[in-house]
Structure 1
Amino acid sequence: MNKIFKNIAFAGIAVSLVATGCKKEYLETAPTESVGAEEVFQSTDGAMVALDGAIRTMYSSLTNHGNFGQKSYDLVADLMGEDMVVHSQGYNWLNSEYNYSVFSNAQPDQRPDRTWFYYYRIINNVNRILVRLPEITGTDEAKSYLEGQCLALRAHSYYYLVNFFGQYGDSNSGVPMYLAPTSDGAPRSSVGDIYKQVYLDLERAETLLGTTRQHASHLNQSVVQGIYARVALQHGDFDKALSYATKAIANSGKSLYTRTQYTAAAFNTISAAEWMWGAEVNVEQATIFASFYSHIDNRPAVGGYAALGGQKKITKALYDKIAADDIRKSLFQATPSTPMPIYAQLKFQLRTAGNWASDYLFMRLAEMYLIKAEAAARLGQNAVAIQTLEELVKTRYSAYTATGLAGNALLDEILVQRKIELWGEGFGILDVKRLGKGLNRPTGPGNHGGDNLNGNGANNFAHQVTTLPARSNRWLFAIPQDEINANASLTMADQNPATD
């Protein structure tokens, strides 16, 4: 643990400044070495520099073209799931994740190692801010703002860590938990204890943050409530999920997209009507080929990895469930084409091909409606569930109705709408794990490994995993070997099993 965690202490904080008194409104960064730790932590202004560095990590390129902050893990989560198909081998980026062939690899620079590094880097950086807050100069208001941001980011990071590295169920082993900077390794906390801390951090952050934020990439109270709703749904706390999704909707100040607004522009710009939280990425900070858009934007003019054979597509099985008049169907390629194969996604596109300055989406209003609808349905509040679901889907498909549905039929309909609405936004394997039905990837023409239906007789990229049991170990990420070697509180007995 000393090697992994200590090395990402202050050296990992990209020194970032929110520009004031000038035209730039994005987070500017400078080399960490240019500002010492003592200088940064003398005041709340200096601590804000460190906070912005932690947030900058969420859209930075870390080590190679497959690691680009939070969206790399969102993409991995969908590639592990049921509804995203890879067209062909391309340059092989992320194919091992799609194939489930990398998660048991505990060696350096593999997906488990990079995932561990990314989330613990954020945790350690915000812990360093939190521990110094009482002694630095600044107003109580500024300190509350910083504390709320840090606690929410810590909770967000532990939520993803426990879902990637822990088996579903409170009694199972989670990840080591650190609430202050340290170079001493901790043992694995239980999944349940991690969730308890996540809730505590979010509840405290909710009281500290208001509706405003200093930068679009920061969090506010409604985002904290949205994270809480997401966490509660994943954990099966449906009362909490319903309550917090309702609060997030009411406090967000956002509105559901109209049919006119539901275009690719709705998914690449932080000012879009539904965006509750995202990262503003300007041209100076864009990571070009090592970016989400390089791996997701299928258009040849972009020149990213997706266009070079690794096109990301919706399954035919899910595409066929979208009504013909549903505007969401227009965000997938409807006909065979050489440069844009049938079922290729058109949802996530750079604002301008050749210019990599497009923002990263972390949370939007539609997710809150879906959480509210599902939680209400699971609690037997059918009228609330139907009303909420219809409020959302009718903005995409005016003829939609869920009237008359109840019980499992209503729940199944909500889950189908969730798959359609949130396709490509990072919920694939998270939903598979929490629903407890195992992995069931559709196969056959237009689906995983089947005929790509593009008129050339070729198949979609050959995958190795079609089904997995409900409590599979195959989707557990290995604890990095470097962590086990350096953390005296861990042994090889703590390693995740690689097979079921």
Structure 2
Amino acid sequence: MKNKIIKITILSAFTLGVMSSCDRELDQVSYTQIPLDQAMTTQANFTQAINGAYTAIKGSGYFSTDTGNQIIVPDLLTDNLIYNPQGRSSNFTAYNWTLSANNGSVTGLFTQAYFVISRANMPLKYINNLPAGSFRTNIEAHARAVRAAAHFDLVRAYCKIPTQSADANASLGIPYITEFNPLENSKVRDLTVAQVYDNIISDLTFAVNNITDAPTDKSKFSKAAIYGLLSRVYLYKGDYTNAVAAGNSSIALSPSVGTIGNFTNIWASNSTDGVLLKILNSTQENVTVGVAYQQGATATGGSIRSEYVVPKSLYTLYSATDIRRTAYIRTAAYQGVQRNHVIKWAFNTGGGTPLNVVEPKYLRTAEVYLNVAESAFKLGNETLANTLLNTLKAQRYSAYVPVTLTGTALWNEIMLQRRLELAFENDRFYTFKRQGLTMQRTGEGPNVDGGGVASLVQTILPSDTRWQWPIPQSTINITPTFQQNPGY
């Protein structure tokens, strides 16, 4: 993993018109390129470096291509998706829970997230080249926010989540990388999960207190987005008081969950109503985010060939008055067989981009509402939980009439709305994992009536070591002291 990071990091230097040698024995100076320490003195180069860190978030292992795409992997591991025998069998090893250190096809998140971290750390290494002031502070805030987000994506996937089990906080964490050093390629897992979370929160706290960019630019972190991410981190940590506080701060700055009139356009156009952070994509970049789900969908119809489809049990949870049903799912035939296809990431009519070239939504205000509602319930504040749920549901169901729920009924509704709202959006696996639940599939097949061949794997117990993904063997080959997760 580290060798890959080194190579890509050096390539990132060329995007700034600079070069840094990665060979201690051949310390030469280029006649045509400027060393990093000299180049990283202008505001333009620091801005470009930050843009490069954000751009890396859509790389392979995060949101690009089909195999290992985080848009789909956390859902196909659970009961939100079922394998379509008419597809190409992409991601089948993950769907079938055949996770191993040697199976790089499950996900490349480990390598890509550390690449993002490397890009975020690069401007921090040279931050003292800038004069003190708002620009310098803002650059540091962006870099630390991106660094924290990538570390969080890693720690929740490859380590235990604090609320998952009693031993989680003291269990094995991941390296928290705070320095840009492409010559150094040995890292050890010397932090606990609790210590990793402390580092994430420290970076995000600095960022939210110092970031100054306009909140209208949804392609970068704003105060609202950082507070929103903090609500997610605190929820996973089990610190429900701070989850509520951070979430409320985010909601105060960006209250719209995406109005019912705009909701379809959030996915089928460039609307950012209710979006806190998106990852830019364009025809020039042509990153096919949605190809992990299907091929063939268009804004007006089309014969859809899906890799994975929506099981009947989930589809029927979306009522006829729920805007999410048509925004997320389309029932269509392929080779004469009717199935419920995911079109959430299929097309962008507003941008005129090719099929599946869309902008990933990294964080939305609707999730923040759900984070706060869940945390408020845990704290016994059912009034706040009901208020947030009713606000969200008023923008999802036509002619919605608010209700007041209590106890188990309220908790079940929070969980239902989380599933419906964040389906196919990198959440379902982590909800099971952080709550220490058994993942139980229904035994149904992929057809619209529930018929067809059921999944081979139906049940994953909370004690299963595969809830923590394997560290890639390539990382351990490079750094033999890097400890593998138990069970692999």
Query: Which residue of 2 is the match for residue 121 of structure 1?
Result: 115
Q: Residue 110 and residue 326 in structure 1: after superposition, are their counterparts in 2 closer, same or farther (change >3 A)?
A: closer
Query: Which residue of 1 is the match for residue 151 of structure 2?
Result: 158
Alpha-carbon shift at residue 211 of structure 1 (Å): 5.5
Aligned to 2:209, the other structure's residue is in SS state helix
- Choose 356-365 or 216-225, whichever is displaced more: 356-365
- Scaled by the length of structure 2, what TM-score is found? 0.85
Structural RMSD (CA): 2.9
Query: Which residue of 1 is the match for residue 187 of structure 2?
Result: 186
Deviations along 1:322-353, one digit per CA (max 9) or x if unpaired, are 23322222335575633783322233331248
Gaps of 5+ in 1: 18-32, 445-449
Query: Which residue of 2 is the match for residue 47 of structure 1?
Result: 46
Deviations along 1:425-456, one digit per CA (max 9) or x if unpaired, are 11021111011112112222xxxxx251369x
Identity of aligned residues (%): 23
Tell me if the contact between 1:298 and 1:345 (Cα under 8 Å) persists in the aligned partners: no
Tell me if the contact between 2:294 and 2:306 (Cα under 8 Å) persists in the aligned partners: no
Q: Residue 7 and residue 442 in structure 1: after superposition, are their counterparts in 2 closer, same or farther (change >3 A)?
A: same
- Scaled by the length of structure 1, what TM-score is found? 0.83
Deviations along 1:190-232, one digit per CA (max 9) or x if unpaired, are 1111101000000000111136169542111111111111111
1:220-239 alignment, distance < 5 Å: 220-239=222-241
1:350-499 alignment, distance < 5 Å: 350-352=347-349, 355-356=354-355, 357-398=357-398, 400=400, 403-444=403-444, 450=445, 452-453=447-448, 458-459=452-453, 463-487=455-479, 489-490=481-482, 494-498=483-487
Q: Distance in 2 between matches of 1:443 and 1:313?
A: 14
Aligned to 1:474, the other structure's residue is in SS state helix
Q: Distance in 2 between matches of 1:315 and 1:236?
A: 31
Tell me if the contact between 1:268 and 1:359 (Cα under 8 Å) persists in the aligned partners: no
Amino acid at match of 1:344: H
Query: Which residue of 1 is the match for residue 87 of structure 2?
Result: 90
Q: Distance in 2 between matches of 1:273 and 1:77?
A: 25
Q: Distance in 1 between matches of 2:65 and 2:368?
A: 31
Alpha-carbon shift at residue 159 of structure 1 (Å): 0.7
Aligned to 1:92, the other structure's residue is in SS state coil
Q: Distance in 2 between matches of 1:116 and 1:140?
A: 35
Match of 2:326 among 314, 327, 330: 330
Query: Which residue of 1 is the match for residue 197 of structure 2?
Result: 195
Q: Distance in 2 between matches of 1:187 and 1:211?
A: 35
Alpha-carbon shift at residue 381 of structure 1 (Å): 0.2
Tell me if the contact between 2:71 and 2:426 (Cα under 8 Å) persists in the aligned partners: yes
Q: Distance in 1 between matches of 2:238 and 2:88?
A: 38
1:247-262 alignment, distance < 5 Å: 247-252=249-254, 255-262=256-263
Alpha-carbon shift at residue 284 of structure 1 (Å): 0.6
Query: Which residue of 2 is the match for residue 208 of structure 1?
Result: 210
Amino acid at match of 1:259: I
Aligned to 2:430, the other structure's residue is in SS state helix
Amino acid at match of 2:470: A
Deviations along 1:76-100, one digit per CA (max 9) or x if unpaired, are 1122222122322522222222121
Q: Residue 40 and residue 452 in structure 1: after superposition, are their counterparts in 2 closer, same or farther (change >3 A)?
A: farther
Aligned length: 457
Aligned to 2:363, the other structure's residue is in SS state strand
Q: Residue 115 and residue 256 in structure 1: after superposition, are their counterparts in 2 closer, same or farther (change >3 A)?
A: closer
Query: Which residue of 1 is the match for residue 345 of structure 2?
Result: 348
Alpha-carbon shift at residue 176 of structure 1 (Å): 1.6
- Choose 173-182 or 211-220, whichever is displaced more: 211-220
Q: Residue 406 and residue 211 in structure 1: after superposition, are their counterparts in 2 closer, same or farther (change >3 A)?
A: farther
